[in-house]
Amino acid sequence: MMKEIYKGDPVHLFIEEVTLPNGKTIPLEIVRHPGASAVVPLLGDGRVVLIHQFRHAAGGYIYEIPAGKLSKGEAPEACAIREVEEEVGYHVGHLEKLTAIFTVPGFCDEVIHLYLGTDLSPCPQNLDEDEIIEIVTLPFEEVMDKITDQTIRDAKSIVGLQLAYAEAKKAGII
C-alpha cells in the first residue's frame, strides 16, 4: 500500500506500508526522487571548478560540485555532462564514474551518480533563473584543505572530491 501525501518539485512524498525483514509491517514516509548526477570538473592544470551556491536550506552560500537532477528518461552520464555545461560553462570530454551514493537513506530514495570530469573545454554557461551560483576555481590541494577545515560541508561534494582526488593522483593528473 502506498499513499501519495504531496506532489511537488523536487519533493514527492509518500507513506508506504513496508514489511521489514523481521516480518513486521510498518508505515514509512518516503520522498521519491528521480536521482541526480554530480561531477568533479578537473582542469588540465590541476585546478577544480567548484560552485559557491545560495541554498536556502543551508542558510546561505555553500561550496558544491556541479550537480543536478536527472530529467525524465535521461541517462546519468548525459545529466552529468549537461549540468557541468549549464552550471560552470565547461564541456566535459572524459567522464569517469566514481560511485553512486545514497544521500538520506532514512527517508528518501535519492541516488547521486558521482563522476570525475576531465578534458574540459569552455562553453556557454546557462543557469536557471533561480540558481544563484558563483564559479570558484581552485588547486585540488587547496580544495582538499577546505574539506578538512570544514569550509566544504556538502556531502555529495566531499565524497566526489575525495574519490576524484585519489583517482587523479593514481592517474598522475595531479
Binding site for a copy of itself (CB under 8 A): 5-6, 8-11, 13, 15-16, 18, 20-22, 24, 26, 28-31, 54-59, 62, 64, 99-110, 112, 129-130, 132, 147-148, 150, 153-156, 158-159, 162-163, 166
Q: List CB contacts of 154: < 8 A, sequence separation 6 or more.
A: 58, 62, 63, 64, 65
Q: Provide the minimum distance between the beta carbon of 45 and a copy of itself in the complex, in angstroms, as a whole number.
A: 25
Q: Verify whether residue 129 is a known catalytic residue.
A: yes
The span from the CA of 92 to the CA of 160, in Å, is 16
**Cell output for 23:** 516480518
Query: Rg (Cα) of the chain, in Å, rounded?
Result: 18
Longest dimension (CA), the chain: 56
Q: Provide the minimum distance between the beta carbon of 164 and a copy of itself in the complex, in angstroms, as a whole number.
A: 12
Using CA of residue 76, residue 81, residue 83, residue 88, what is the dihedral sign? positive
Of the two residues 61 and 91, which places its CB atom closer to a copy of itself in the complex? 61
**Cell output for 56:** 536556502
Q: Which of 74, 77, 85, 129 is catalytic?
A: 129
Q: Provide the minimum distance between the beta carbon of 121 and a copy of itself in the complex, in angstroms, as a whole number.
A: 28
Active site residues: 129
